């Protein structure tokens, strides 16, 4: 998607969703204006960042020795504070386009269990780029707001965020997250299994980008009759390093990703076992909402339903639900102050 709008310099407040895989920015009055990979390319010889987002992702798997691609977040957590700050500053500067803009406020979506160290790193990065006060919005609340759920209800709403690095299941009642559990098995684990399967079954090598494309186009949580039985991709031969065309059996690919998919299903089942019965009763009527990129894995909603007996509803445009939820709070920060952490 990249940078989606020009003339965004009269910025008051912005919403940020910085995920393991992608970063998204929402500007008050303009909507989502940036959606790019959370990766930067760093030149080790020149000791500087040479690209971020989409341009940096193009270096993956084809970088010269002196160029290193870095994902500062892994498994939904900041693993590299120094490069996280560089990434955040680069994206904020990107939407500024060299202009002197906001001392505006930033609403940043975060897991409920964010640490004080992570909060400090984020505040420092925002301050260094010229931003104003930072408000931390629980991801589950943002997801609910982004789907149009009334978070003030006195009944339970169950949300599952299936992102690239983390899976979070939460219950929201009266604008409060009353239950939250996190698993580190999510979209990137599925892509790792696809890479392994192509290597072991077809003696081919593919990178992260192609594995992600396979997941989106032919990946499935269960065997589905409407998917193409065979799908062709280009890979490198593991023995000769020459390019070759592979015909991928989608049923075999479904088997290959069975382990991470089963981990997601078992995580959800475990959460259902410990969520209070009264909240589950609410879910019997409303269903359970799925957001995040991994929720788009073909057949996952049906597999979860079959294994648990509940109805799972994939949010409309689940990739942008969370950042849109942050945008909901921008016009009335005072109104939402009790939900910030």
Query: Which of 99, 96, 85, 94 lies closest to 42 in space, CA to CA?
Result: 85
If DSSP codes are grouped into helix, strand and coil, which group holds residue 193? helix
Strand partners, 182: 168
Q: Measured between alpha carbons, how far is 209 from 214 in angstroms, rounded to an integer?
A: 9
Residue ranges matching CATH 3.30.420.40 in the chain: 149-185+260-314
Instruction: Please determine, for residue 8, whether its predicted confidence score (pLDDT) is greater than 50.
Output: no
**Which of 259, 285, 116 is CA-nearest to residue 193?**
259
pLDDT of residue 130: 72
Number of H helices, E strands in the chain: 11, 19
Residue 260 has pLDDT above 70, yes or no: yes
Which CATH fold would you assign to the domain 149-185+260-314? Nucleotidyltransferase; domain 5 (3.30.420)
Nearest alpha carbon to residue 198 among 241, 126, 246: 246
DSSP track, 13-36: -EEEEE-SSEEEEEETTTEEEEEE
Judged against a pLDDT cut of 60, whether residue 4 lies above it is answered with no
pLDDT at 338 over 80: yes
Burial of 62 (0-12, 13-18, 19+ CB in 10 A): exposed
Rounded distance between C-alpha atoms, residue 203 and residue 197, angstroms: 9
Residue 256 above 80 pLDDT? yes
Whether the Cβ atoms of residue 151 and residue 144 lie closer than 8 Å to each other: yes
- Residue 183 pLDDT: 93
For residue 93, the SS3 value is: helix
The chain-wide mean pLDDT, for the chain, equals: 89
Do 128 and 85 contact (CB within 8 A), yes or no? yes
Q: Please compute the mean of the pLDDT values over residues 113-126 and round it to a whole number.
A: 83
Q: Kindly state the DSSP code that residue 133 receives in the 8-state scheme.
A: -
pLDDT of residue 95: 81
The rounded percent of the chain whose pLDDT value lies above 90 is 65
The model's confidence at residue 100, banded by pLDDT at 50, 70 and 90, is low
pLDDT at position 99 is 58
pLDDT of residue 9: 46
Is pLDDT above 70 for 226? Answer: no
Segment 132-161 mean pLDDT? 95
Q: In the chain, which segments carry CATH 3.90.640.10? A: 187-258
Run of H or E residues at 191? helix 187-202
CATH level 3 topology of 187-258 = Actin; Chain A, domain 4 (3.90.640)
Q: 276: which 2 tokens?
A: 């209070």
Weakest-pLDDT range from 3-17, 20-34, 110-124? 3-17
Q: Which residue has the higher pLDDT, 187 or 4?
A: 187
| pLDDT bucket at 229, cuts 50 / 70 / 90 | low
Q: Per-residue pLDDT tens for 14-63?
A: 999 999 999 999 998 889 999 999 999 999 999 999 999 999 999 987 76
pLDDT at 12 over 80: no
pTM of the entire predicted model: 0.91
pLDDT at 265 over 50: yes
Cα separation of the two ends of the chain: 30
Our measurement of the distance from residue 202's CA atom to the centroid of its chain's CA atoms, rounded to an integer in Å, reads 29
**pLDDT computed for residue 102 by the predictor:** 54
């Amino acid at each position: 998607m990249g940078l989606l709008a020009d003339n965004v310099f009269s910025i008051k407040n912005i919403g940020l969703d910085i995920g393991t895989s992608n970063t998204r920015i929402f500007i008050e009055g303009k909507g989502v204006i940036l959606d790019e990979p959370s990766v930067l390319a760093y030149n080790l010889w020149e000791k500087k960042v040479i690209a971020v987002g989409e341009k940096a992702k193009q270096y993956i798997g084809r970088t010269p020795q002196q160029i290193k691609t870095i994902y500062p977040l892994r498994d939904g957590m900041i693993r590299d504070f120094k490069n996280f700050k560089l990434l955040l500053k680069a994206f904020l500067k990107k939407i500024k386009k060299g202009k002197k803009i906001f001392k505006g406020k930033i609403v940043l979506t975060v897991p409920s269990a964010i640490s004080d160290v992570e909060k400090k790193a984020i505040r420092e990065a925002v301050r260094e780029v010229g931003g104003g006060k930072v408000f931390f919005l629980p991801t589950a609340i943002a997801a609910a707001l982004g789907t149009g759920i009334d978070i003030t209800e006195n009944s339970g709403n169950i949300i599952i965020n299936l992102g690239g690095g983390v899976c979070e299941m939460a219950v929201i009642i009266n604008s409060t997250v009353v239950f939250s559990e996190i698993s580190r098995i999510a979209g990137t684990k599925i892509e790792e299994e696809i890479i392994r399967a192509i290597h072991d079954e077809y003696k081919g090598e593919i990178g992260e980008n192609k594995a992600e494309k396979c997941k989106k186009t032919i990946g499935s949580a269960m065997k589905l009759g409407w998917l193409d039985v065979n799908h062709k991709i280009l890979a490198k031969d593991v023995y000769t390093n020459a390019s070759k065309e592979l015909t991928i059996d989608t049923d075999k690919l479904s088997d290959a990703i069975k382990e991470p998919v089963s981990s997601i299903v078992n995580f959800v089942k475990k959460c259902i076992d410990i969520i209070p019965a009264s909240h589950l009763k609410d879910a019997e009527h409303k269903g359970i909402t799925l957001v995040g990129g991994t929720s788009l894995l073909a057949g996952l909603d049906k597999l979860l339903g079959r294994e648990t007996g509940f109805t799972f509803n994939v949010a409309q445009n689940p990739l942008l639900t969370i950042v849109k939820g942050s945008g909901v709070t921008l016009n009335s920060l005072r109104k939402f102050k009790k939900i910030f952490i």
